[in-house]
Amino acid sequence: MHDGQIMTRSITERAAFAELYDRHERSVYRYAARRLGPSQADDTTSETFVVAFARRADFVGHDARPWLLGIATTLMHKFARQEAQAWRGMLAADLARVDSDQFEAVDDRLDAGTTAQQMGATLARLPAGDRDALLLHTFGDLDYEGISKALSIPIGTVRSRIHRARRKLRAAIDPAYRPEKEAHHGRDLAPAPSAE
């Protein structure tokens, strides 16, 4: 039985919602713990499912995980200060997941602690929409379509936000980084029209 069916059943059989909780509690908790630290993760996870239960009649689809992570993301905005502190205290290994290619590239030149501090500070300064998209991808393990559903934005906007956030992180930790040398969202650009 997919999540949408469980959600529909839970409207008349409230206890059915427990099955949805059992399926997704760990994912929501892990995402919250990576963003806020363990101290706020329990409360955020619980509140996510309270909100989801209250809004269960509004759910449309088969997989509730993006929807639940979207609710959790919205709830996390009230913990902005704690979230920024959590990033500064994250292990370098956690932050390396945000942009592993770039982290490895600068690892020889900067110690991991310094790099983690720079990335944490840069994450804290990102616009909330850019940060949410990047961290749903990185810590929530959602693909672009899942992020689109979680944040109720078009996939093109998801791509732009993640690209912009990664570009700012790279610039913050690597002075030699030049954004103009970067690939354009993984797409080939059409050749420039020839001048005739």
Residue 179 has pLDDT above 90, yes or no: no
Q: What backbone phi and psi angles, to 5 degrees, belong to 184?
A: -90, 85
The whole-angstrom separation of Cα 58 and Cα 11 is 10
Instruction: Domain ranges for the chain, please list them.
Output: 3-80+120-173
- Topology adopted by domain 3-80+120-173: Butyryl-CoA Dehydrogenase, subunit A; domain 3 (1.20.140)
Q: Which amino acid is at 36?
A: L
Residue 104 has pLDDT above 70, yes or no: no
Task: Please report the sign of the dihedral spanned by the C-alpha atoms of residue 41, residue 43, residue 45, residue 47.
Answer: negative
pLDDT value at residue 20: 95
Q: What is the mean pLDDT of the chain?
A: 80
The whole-angstrom separation of Cα 138 and Cα 96 is 10
pLDDT value at residue 125: 85
Mean pLDDT of 4-18: 94
Which residue bears the tokens 């949410």?
132
Tell me the Cα Rg of the chain: 19
pLDDT value at residue 118: 74
Mean pLDDT of 36-51: 91
Residue 72 has pLDDT above 50, yes or no: yes
Mean pLDDT of 91-116: 52
The whole-angstrom separation of Cα 119 and Cα 87 is 8
Residue 83 has pLDDT above 80, yes or no: no
Mean pLDDT of 68-83: 84
Is 133 within 8 Å of 165 (Cβ atoms)?
yes
107-149 pLDDT per residue, tens? 444 455 566 677 777 888 889 999 999 999 988 999 999 999 9
pLDDT value at residue 111: 56
pLDDT value at residue 134: 92
pLDDT value at residue 191: 44
Residue 11 has pLDDT above 80, yes or no: yes
Per-residue tokens: 184: 């354009």
Label residue 178 by pLDDT band (50, 70, 90).
low
Mean pLDDT of 67-94: 73
The whole-angstrom separation of Cα 88 and Cα 80 is 13
Mean pLDDT of 93-117: 53
